[in-house]
Amino acid sequence: MERILIIQTAFIGDAILTLPMIQKLKELYPSREIHVLSIQSTLDIFSSSPFVDKVLVIDKKGKQKSFFSFFNFVRKIKSNNYSLVYSPHRSFRSALIAYLIKADSSYCFSNSSLKFVYKNIVAYIPSHHEVRRNLDLIGFKSDDENWKILPQLIVPLYSKEKINSFFAKFNTNNNFVTVAPGSVWNTKIYPIEYYEKIVEYFVEKQFHVIIIGGAKDKVLCDGLAEKFSSNVYSVAGEFSILETVELLKRVKILISNDSAPTHLAMCADIPVLTIYCSTVQDFGFFPYNNKSKFISYDALDCKPCGIHGHKECPLKTFDCGWKLKPEFVISKIEEILSDQY
C-alpha cells in the first residue's frame, strides 16, 4: 500500500483550509492511504475527514521538543515509507521532517523555509485564496470558480446528540444566529461595543443569539451576553470543534472576525459575514461559499499592518475597527438575511 503524507501543523483555520486539498488528493490517488501530520488541537478535524486514513500528532512544545525526541519521532514516521509528501505548512520544522522522511517525491511552496530540501517547489500565489493555493500544491488545475470546494467533516453521533440537547431547551427551531467576537490577535477583534450593537439588532428582530468561542474567549463572550437580559447565550468553551460545526448547521448566519469560526462556517456551509479589522480579505482567508460576504474599512494607509494581526494597534488608534461603524455591518447582515427569504 502506497502512502501520502500531508504536513500541516498549523492551527484550526489552516487545518480546515487544508481539507479541500486532501479531498482532491484522494480523487487523484484513490488507492493510496493519506496520512496527516498535525498538532493535538487539530487532531479531531483531520480524524473526522472521510478522506484521511491516519493522523499522526506531533507535540512541538512537549514530547517532541528536544532534539533527540524529535528525530526519534521522525524516524518512526519514516517507517511508513511515504511515496509522496506535501507540506502546505511552510515552517523550518516541517521542511526538516519532509527532508528526513526521504519520500520519493516532496512538494512545498516557493516561500517555504528550507525549500531547497524539497524535490518540487510550487509557486505561492498571494492573490489566490488559501484553499486554491493548497490545490496548486497538488497540481489541481483551478479556475476562478472550481477551487471553491467546501471542507467535509463527519460529525459523530454523540456530538450531534449534545447539540440536539442544547437546542431542545428552546421553543423555536429556526430563529438562531451566532456571533464569534474573539480572536487570538487583538487587532482582529471588532470592538466589543460594536458587537453589542449587532447583538442588540438581532434581539430586536426576535432572534436568539448564540455567542461562540473557545475557552480563552469565555470572558469576552460571557461579558457580551451579560449585557442582555434574554435571548442571548454564551457557549464559549462548552463545545468542541465538531460540535460547533454541528451547532452552526442549525443557525441562519454567523458574524465573525477574520478568525477560525469563519472556516468552521464553511464546513457547515452557512452564511457568514467576516469582519476585517487590521487584516484584509486579499490575504486569501475570506469565506467563499455563495451565501457569505465580508466587510472591511480600507480607507487607511496603515492597513493591513500585518498578516496575523497584533496584540495592539501599532498606531494606538485602531481606526480599522472604530471606523467600521456597526450600522454598516448591520446593513451587510440585512443583505445576507434578505437573500434567504
CATH number, domain at 9?
3.40.50.2000
pLDDT value of residue 250: 96
Report if residue 146 sits inside a domain.
Answer: no
What pTM was estimated for this model as a whole? Answer: 0.94
Q: Are residues 30 and 112 in the same domain?
A: yes
pLDDT value of residue 68: 87
Predicted confidence (pLDDT) per residue in 237-288, tens digit:
999 999 999 999 999 999 999 999 999 999 999 999 999 999 999 999 999 9
pLDDT value of residue 341: 55
Q: Are residues 202 and 311 in the same domain?
A: yes
Task: List all residues 6 or more positions away from 56 whose beta carbon is below 8 Å from its beta carbon.
Answer: 35, 36, 37, 38, 77
Checking if the pLDDT of 11 tops 80, the result is yes
Checking if the pLDDT of 340 tops 80, the result is no
Q: Are residues 331 and 193 in the same domain?
A: yes
Axis crossing angle, helix 192-204 with helix 326-338, rounded to the nearest 10: 40
Q: Determine how β-strand 293-296 pairs with β-strand 82-86.
A: unpaired
Of the candidates 240, 232, 196, 194, the one whose C-alpha atom is nearest the C-alpha of residue 214 is 240
Q: Are residues 166 and 35 in the same domain?
A: no
Q: Are residues 11 and 97 in the same domain?
A: yes
pLDDT value of residue 260: 96
Report if residue 151 sits inside a domain.
Answer: no
Q: Does 144 or 188 have the greater pLDDT score? A: 188
The percent of residues above 70 in pLDDT, for the chain, comes to 99
Q: Report the 10 Å Cβ neighbour count for 92.
A: 10
How far is residue 55 from each of residues 8, 9, 47, 83, 305, measured CA to CA in Å? Answer: 11, 11, 6, 17, 35
Report if residue 264 sits inside a domain.
Answer: yes
Judge contact between 275 and 256, C-beta under 8 A.
yes
Q: What is the domain range of residue 208?
A: 157-338
Total number of domains in the chain: 2
User: Considering 71, 106, 137, which residue would you say is the last residue of a domain?
Assistant: 137
The β-bridge partners of 7 are 37
Summarize the confidence of residues 183-204 as an average pLDDT. Answer: 97
Predicted confidence (pLDDT) per residue in 316-333, tens digit:
999 999 999 999 999 999
Predicted confidence (pLDDT) per residue in 119-137, tens digit:
999 999 999 999 999 999 9
Q: Are residues 187 and 130 in the same domain?
A: no
pLDDT value of residue 133: 98
Q: How confident is the model at residue 339 (pLDDT cuts 50, 70, 90)?
A: confident
Q: How confident is the model at residue 1 (pLDDT cuts 50, 70, 90)?
A: confident
Q: Are residues 51 and 129 in the same domain?
A: yes
Report if residue 147 sits inside a domain.
Answer: no
Predicted confidence (pLDDT) per residue in 62-117, tens digit:
888 788 899 999 999 999 999 999 999 999 999 999 999 999 999 999 999 999 99
Q: Are residues 37 and 165 in the same domain?
A: no
Report if residue 118 sits inside a domain.
Answer: yes
Q: Are residues 98 and 235 in the same domain?
A: no
